[in-house]
Amino acid sequence: MFSGKSTELIRRIHRYQHAKLECLVVKYLFDTRHSEEMLSTHDKVFVEAMPVQTLTEVRPFLNEYDVIGIDEGQFYPDLVEFCQDAATMGKVVVVAALDATFERKAFDKVVELIPTADKVIKLNAICSSCGQDAAFTRRLVADKTLEVRTMH
């Protein structure tokens, strides 16, 4: 969190849009922080996004797009299969995701995707307490579930 994953995803999507490629951004259905149909960054940068619970919901639209951007990839149970199928179809797939939980346990689908990726970039946040690089997330609430739903 706060490492710039969504910001980097949006930056990459904008690059492809400037190249005149058709882009679709997908956001996790339960991420309703600022908007239900817009992906937003902590800096309040917005881009239109399709809210879905599984990537299977995106499959009917794949032929319409050249590039698929996926935010919060760690929450999709079908992440690996979808990305591999889309890449086989010639699509560019960009995934922004956490690779581990606040307990430092791997998000299996994200880790499974790494060997098939053309490029992997790991971003670090900045610790709000000490100012050093923060490679891991920290849970600030008592809830131990991996998916904490917040609505603003």
Cβ-based neighbours of 143, under 8 Å, separated by 6 or more = none
- Vertex 15 angle, CA 65 and 91, to 5°: 30
Beta bridge partners of 23: 67
Residue 147 a catalytic site member: no
- Looking at 36, 72, 112, 147, which residue is catalytic? 72
List helix spans (H) across the chain: 5-18, 79-88, 108-113
- Say what the alpha-carbon torsion angle 33, 35, 38, 40 is, to the nearest 10 degrees: -40
Residues recognised as catalytic: 72
